[in-house]
Amino acid sequence: MTKAIGIARRELGLMFGGPLAWTLIGAFTFLGGYFFYTDLTFYVLFGGGNLPAGLWRYVFLHYRLVALLVVPLVTMRLVAEERKLGTLELLWSLPVRDRDVLAGKLAAAVVVYLVMLAGSAIGPFVLWVMHPYPLAPLAAGYTGMLLLGLAFIACGLAASCVGESQVVSAMLAYGVLVFLWFVSANEAALGEGLGWILLGMSLFDRFYGFAQGVIDLRDVVFFLAFTALFLFLALRALGARAWRGLA
Amino acid sequence: MIEARQLTKRFGGRTAIQGVTLRVAPGEVVGFLGPNGAGKSTTFRIMAGVFPPDSGTVLVDGIDLEREPLTARRRIGYVPERPALQLDARVDRELAFIASLRDVAPGARQRAVDDAIARARLEEVRTRRIGALSRGTRQRASLAAGLVGDPPVLLLDEPTVGLDPAQSADTRRLIRELGRDRAVLVSSHILSDLESLCDRVIVLHQGRVLAEGDPATLGSRLRRTTYVDVEAAASAERLAALVRDLPGVHGVAPLPGHVHAGRCRVEVTADRDVRAAIAARLAGAGVALYALVPVEPSLEEAFLSLVGESTGEAGE
């Protein structure tokens, strides 16, 4: 655990020492702020006084889109760059377990994501100061964003473990996440057997409850299971060096 | 002490190394010599715990690397062929990070970093970003990463690649110094790099240990023959016929010539200089001599010669 913390600290130092983390946090905050402003305007004009259905639903559905765009860019370098630089080889020769390496990388990406979420909360906070409102639906939305972000990070981390190209890593993560996002768009096109499995993995429907202020335990379990699955795949991808070497 | 027993590794259908056995005792610097692709880096990676062998065992101070990987790896300082450090990190911070992963106690980390920096002569660049260092300095930083925490076993994969002659000599001096009380295995594809450095040299070829011994004996075996390129006013065939029977000449091979000159490569015994005899023979035959150029055999050629010798011995 100590080593995972050390790896996370070093990763955060590298991320915040360069422009990448700041740029992505800035992009998330800007886009989040823009969507919040436009959704608030829409709510004031047409919202009908129901804050969860009239405002938070749209805000969080837009936030999840921003997360989909930004998170793979946070995760793409986590392991791929270490592989490219050869530092992964050095890590593997040190007394560190693969799971510590992954835990450290995961923790660093989660911290960056939390900073992004904090940036996105500026608008709702200002609104609360000016016009206090019930915080529970907002908390449910952010719980959903956290779980969704964990799932995205795990998927991106697994993609980053596959090779040494950051672009390939990002595209792989986008491919998986966008597919699982839209897989339920046309349910009739999917067959009986496979369709049931793919629909079960659809990310699109699972977030909807959180966005409207409802926390369903099944959705929580789904996102945690999704995260665990991709962390397992990431671990397997790191372990593949035993048979494929360092290529 | 580090010991490898019968290491074999395959990637897909290709056998990278087969039955590699070696042992390096404390206070010993052992050279690992082989041409590119011989399996040196694969052997190093297995011995460093980067990936496991398909079969065979690595023991570090008697600890099985596969059964107790963390305990064993704590005792190994591995310096990969390519400097493996984060380019955006500062030298001292990267070394402190490696010290923490090598389980150096928090109170002893600063001293471990200072020691490694002093040994690798990095004082002037300790706060610089690694990406801003020259290739040679980055190589020394990579060496410092292997030294931090003072592991008793050092695996140095081609540590002098990319260094200028002065840095290379400096690194060899450092390795000799480190080898006084540590087990050091150092690889190279340049025999002369290892001759002045090692107590013993192991020759790897096509994934197998081909020969082992002290550098002087192995060097003379590897350099049994040398070459002289001859260029004169005669066809390559006539040149070959003229010099073939000179004492010390093992063979003659024609080389692409020019319009008015023939060229051939003469293989000769390493300890004889036959240039005067060749010149005299050509002059006696009335053939104008244009050039006599001694050519050192490449390591690959020397290896092939040793492979031929080894095959011959096996066949006897």
Pick the more confident residue, A22 or B211: A22
- Of B144, B152, B172, B124, which Cα lies nearest the Cα of B83? B144
Range with lowest mean pLDDT among A58-67, A237-246, B58-67, B299-308: B299-308
For the segment B155-168, the average pLDDT, to the nearest whole number, is 85
Q: How confident is the model at residue B304 (pLDDT cuts 50, 70, 90)?
A: low
- To the nearest whole angstrom, how far is the Cα of B73 from the nearest Cα of chain A? 5
Most confident segment among A109-118, B15-24, B194-203: A109-118
Buried/exposed A222-246: b ≥16 CB within 10 Å, e otherwise: bbeebbeebbebbbebbeebeeebb
For the segment B189-217, the average pLDDT, to the nearest whole number, is 83
The pLDDT value given to residue B316: 33
- To the nearest whole angstrom, how far is the Cα of B113 from the nearest Cα of chain A? 16
The three-point CA angle B268-B269-B274 to 5° equals 60
Pick the more confident residue, A80 or B188: A80
Cross-sheet strand order for the sheet of B225-232: B249-255, B262-269, B225-232, B289-295
Which of A85, A94, A97 lies closest to B98 in CB terms? A94
Q: Where are the beta strands (DSSP E) in chain A?
A: none
For chain A, say whether B65 makes contact (Cβ under 8 Å). Answer: no
- To the nearest whole angstrom, how far is the Cα of B315 from the nearest Cα of chain A? 35
* B-interface mutation test, from A94, A164, A244, A246, most B Cβ less than 10 A away: A94
- To the nearest whole angstrom, how far is the Cα of B70 from the nearest Cα of chain A? 4
Range with lowest mean pLDDT among A147-151, A158-162, B251-255: B251-255
CA atoms within 13 A on the CB side of A236: 7
The pLDDT value given to residue B250: 84
* A-interface mutation test, from B44, B54, B86, B91, most A Cβ less than 10 A away: B86
The pLDDT value given to residue A54: 79
Pick the more confident residue, A142 or B195: A142
Distance CA A152, CA A230 (A): 9
pLDDT in tens, B19-47: 999 999 999 999 998 888 889 999 999 99
For the segment A131-147, the average pLDDT, to the nearest whole number, is 93
The pLDDT value given to residue B307: 62
For chain B, say whether A89 makes contact (Cβ under 8 Å). Answer: yes
Determine whether the interchain pair B11/A245 forms a contact, defined as Cβ–Cβ distance below 8 Å.
yes
Determine whether the interchain pair A95/B101 forms a contact, defined as Cβ–Cβ distance below 8 Å.
yes
For chain B, say whether A240 makes contact (Cβ under 8 Å). Answer: no
For chain B, say whether A1 makes contact (Cβ under 8 Å). Answer: no
> What percent of chain A has a predicted confidence (pLDDT) above 90?
68
For chain B, say whether A92 makes contact (Cβ under 8 Å). Answer: yes
The pLDDT value given to residue B314: 38
Which of A6, A86, A93 lies closest to B97 in CB terms? A6
The pLDDT value given to residue A13: 92
Determine whether the interchain pair A6/B101 forms a contact, defined as Cβ–Cβ distance below 8 Å.
yes
For chain B, say whether A200 makes contact (Cβ under 8 Å). Answer: no
**ipTM field:** 0.84
Which of B52, B69, B84 lies closest to A86 in CB terms? B84
For chain A, say whether B48 makes contact (Cβ under 8 Å). Answer: yes
- Of A233, A228, A227, which Cα lies nearest the Cα of A71? A227
For the segment B166-174, the average pLDDT, to the nearest whole number, is 85
- Of A32, A225, A227, which Cα lies nearest the Cα of A141? A32
Q: Spell out the domain ranges in chain B.
A: 2-221, 224-296
Check if the beta carbon of residue B251 is closer than 8 Å to that of residue B267: yes
* Assigned CATH class of B224-296: alpha beta
pLDDT in tens, B269-285: 877 788 999 999 999 99
CA atoms within 13 A on the CB side of A233: 17
B51 contacts in chain A (CB < 8 Å): 92, 241-242, 245-246
Which of B11, B42, B88 lies closest to A18 in CB terms? B88
pLDDT(A184) > 80: no
Which of A17, A89, A244 lies closest to B50 in CB terms? A89
For residue B291, give the amino acid letter. Answer: A
CATH architecture of B2-221: 3-Layer(aba) Sandwich (3.40)
The pLDDT value given to residue B315: 36
For the segment A16-27, the average pLDDT, to the nearest whole number, is 92
Q: Which residues contact B46 (CB under 8 A, 6 or more apart)?
A: B4, B7, B9, B17, B52, B53, B56, B58
Beta bridge partners of B57: B5
Range with lowest mean pLDDT among B122-136, B152-166, B292-306: B292-306
- Of A4, A234, A223, A36, which Cα lies nearest the Cα of A119? A36
> What percent of chain B has a predicted confidence (pLDDT) above 90?
50
Pick the more confident residue, B218 or A217: A217
- To the nearest whole angstrom, how far is the Cα of A7 from the nearest Cα of chain B? 8
Pick the more confident residue, A216 or A243: A216
Instruction: Return the DSSP state at A47.
Output: -
pLDDT(B145) > 90: yes
For the segment B176-205, the average pLDDT, to the nearest whole number, is 86
Q: What is the dihedral of CA B60, B66, B68, B69, to 10 degrees?
A: 80
Determine whether the interchain pair A14/B86 forms a contact, defined as Cβ–Cβ distance below 8 Å.
yes
Which of B71, B80, B93 lies closest to A86 in CB terms? B80
pLDDT in tens, B220-268: 766 677 889 999 999 888 899 999 999 888 888 888 877 778 899 998 8
- To the nearest whole angstrom, how far is the Cα of B181 from the nearest Cα of chain A? 21
Instruction: Calculate the average pLDDT of chain B.
Output: 87
Q: Return the HEC string of chain B.
A: CEEEEEEEEEECCEEEEEEEEEEECCCEEEEEECCCCCCHHHHHHHHHCCCCCCEEEEEECCEECCCCHHHHHCCEEEECCCCCCCCCCEHHHHHHHHHHHCCCCHHHHHHHHHHHHHHCCCHHHCCCEHHHCCHHHHHHHHHHHHHCCCCCEEEEECCCCCCCHHHHHHHHHHHHHHCCCCEEEEEECCHHHHHCCCCEEEEEECCEEEEEECHHHHHHHHCCEEEEEEEECCCHHHHHHHHCCCCCEEEEEEECCCCCCEEEEEEEECCCCCHHHHHHHHHHCCCCEEEEEEECCCHHHHHHHHHHHHHHHHHC
For the segment B196-216, the average pLDDT, to the nearest whole number, is 85
A89 contacts in chain B (CB < 8 Å): 45, 50, 80, 84
Which of B11, B85, B93 lies closest to A244 in CB terms? B11
Which of A85, A95, A245 lies closest to B84 in CB terms? A85
